[in-house]
Structure 1
Amino acid sequence: MDSLFVTLTLWQVGLALAIVVFAGFVKGAVGFAMPLIMVSAFSAFLPADVALAGLILPTLVTNISQAFRQGWAPAMETARDYRRFLIGTVVFILLSAQLFWLIPRMGYLLLLGVPVTLFAGAQLLGLPLALKLEHRARAEWVLGVIGGLYGGVSGIWGPPLLVYLLSINAPKIQAVRAQGVVFLIGAIALLAAHLGTGLMQGERLWFSAILVPAAMLGMALGYRVQDRLDQVRFRRWTQALLVASGLNLIRQAFMG
């Protein structure tokens, strides 16, 4: 391990592996939150560039599993159904990744954390905040662009999609598969973008690679929980986790 990593210690790598198992478990159970958990926890003991690089390959591989869990045909159908969101996300991940070294961390954390927390919190309280279905296409474009803008610089583009899925009250299986498909294509774009920026090279690339098996272990455990959740509990868990994720983003913004 010492010969592979120069700037990372054994305890940092071990702690990162434990965090990724937990993040994979949560993702397996509700379909999202892996990057949120990883970035949040990694920021406490890893440099920002290492934290972002670390989540890229585990996110890519676990989303392959999630997107194709029901087979190739359902995944392709989902990609067609959410094509506007996908296009917006991918294009703006590629664009915003070029700004990774320029965007103030506090700014994008607050801009993402505050609206996500308010929306999910209102849903938990039972307030009717669903997007009108006649504006579905417009909402997909707008939220896809927002997700892509954040995704390129932070590795996190899930909350806008979750807000959309909650608004249209997507069934559990469809919602989880939609997350997997959108996150997978976004993850491919993120990897391609940061191969270009130089982030995914050397030690950072190896660090990300060794986290993949831990992520898949967590996913396998989380799938067992997901299969037991009914639609109502799944929706409540998703809302609660979105609130927690949003609050954590706000905390990170003020704590640096």
Structure 2
Amino acid sequence: MDALFSLISPELLAFAFVVTVIAGTVKGAIGFAMPLIMISGLSILIDPKLVVAGIILPIVLTNILQVTKGGLKNAWDALMEYRTYVILVCIMILITSQFVAYVSADMMLLGLGVIVTVLCAIQIAGVRVEIPPHRRKVGSVIAGILSGILGGFSGTWGPTTVLYLVAVDTPKAKQFSVQGVVYGAGAVMLLIGHLKSGILNAQTVPFSLALIPPGVLGMWIGFKIHDRIDQVLFRKATLWVLLIAGINLVRRGIMG
């Protein structure tokens, strides 16, 4: 506990708990957006590099929960069917995560803000890219590389994964399992990558461990309300909030 409070004040830790519960609830309800919410919310008051370290372990565990909720057989089938995309996401996360430690705080805020803003704006606008069957192999490669780059840098590859799954006309019933596999595998690679990059280390790991319970609590709440809400409306409201948060991150990155 002393190690944790030497890293972050009790007040900021309480703030981080609240944001993480909200992020976990949204993820449990609609299947993604936990890293986006945590990065956008926590970076308002907490150093962005510490935020990237803090989100890693909660993301790993909550994605494992998402995979198991969808069923292990469904997860395996999804892995086999979308293996090209999953493999490329994992490879690119490992590679690009090594550069995070060399980016200044202002540049990271700006980069994260641009990523959050653009991805949310695309989804709010309802942009749908359609990849025809004869182009899906190439589409998987391009989408996998792009998602992995974003994941390694910002810790979030959910929105691009959703866009890709819609583009290849993935049945809605299957999307939850595929998302769980992509997020789960990518989260493990993010953990390995940031252990190597030094972002997740002996000093920062207590913060990441501390965010696991609120993350799991949020997921539990989200699972409970999953079938009781208008997911389309809830998702749009979430994206609007994230869009505002993303614009604020861009402002902070530019103004310092």
Q: Give TM-score, length-normalised by structure 1.
A: 0.87
8 Å Cα contact 1:19/1:38 also seen in 2: yes
Q: Paired residue for 1:251, among 240, 248, 256?
A: 248
Structure 2: where are the runs of 5+ without partners? none
Secondary structure of 2:45's counterpart equals coil
Distance in structure 1 (CA, Å) of the matches to 2:197 and 2:129: 39
CA distance in 2, matches of 1:142, 1:246: 25
- CA shift, 1:68, in A, is 1.7
Q: For residue 10 of structure 2, what is the aligned residue in structure 1?
A: 10
> Which amino acid letter does the alignment assign opposite residue 246 of structure 2?
L
Once residues 252 and 156 of structure 1 are traced to their aligned partners in structure 2, the CA distance between those partners, rounded to angstroms, is: 15
Q: Does 1:119 align with 2:122?
A: yes
Alignment gaps of 5+ in structure 1:
none
- Mapped contact 1:52–1:155 kept (Cα < 8 A): yes
Aligned-pair distance for 1:147? 1.3
How far 1:214 sits from its partner (Å)? 1.1
* Displacement after TM superposition at 1:165 (Å): 2.3
Q: Distance in 1 between matches of 2:244 and 2:33?
A: 13
Tell me how many residue pairs correspond in the alignment: 250
Q: 2:251 is matched by which residue type in structure 1?
A: F
1:213 maps to what in 2? 213
Alignment identity in percent? 32
Q: Given the superposition, is the C-alpha separation of residues 237 and 133 from structure 1 closer, same or farther in structure 2, using an over 3 Å criterion?
A: farther
Residue 203 of structure 1 corresponds to which residue in structure 2? 203
Q: Match for 1:72: what amino acid?
A: L
3-state SS, counterpart of residue 228 of structure 2: coil
Residue pair 1:116, 1:243 contacting (<8 A) in 2 also: no
Q: Equivalent residue of 2:7, what SS?
A: coil
- The code of the aligned residue for 1:139 comes to G
182-191 or 104-113, which moves further after superposition? Answer: 104-113
Question: Partners in 2 of 1:243 and 1:165 — Cα distance?
Answer: 21
Instruction: Indicate the residue corresponding to 1:45 in structure 2.
Output: 45
TM-score (norm 2): 0.87
In the TM superposition, residue 129 of structure 1 has moved relative to its aligned partner by: 4.1
Farther-moved stretch of structure 1 (2-11 vs 70-79): 2-11
Task: Find the counterpart in structure 2 of residue 156 from structure 1.
Answer: 156
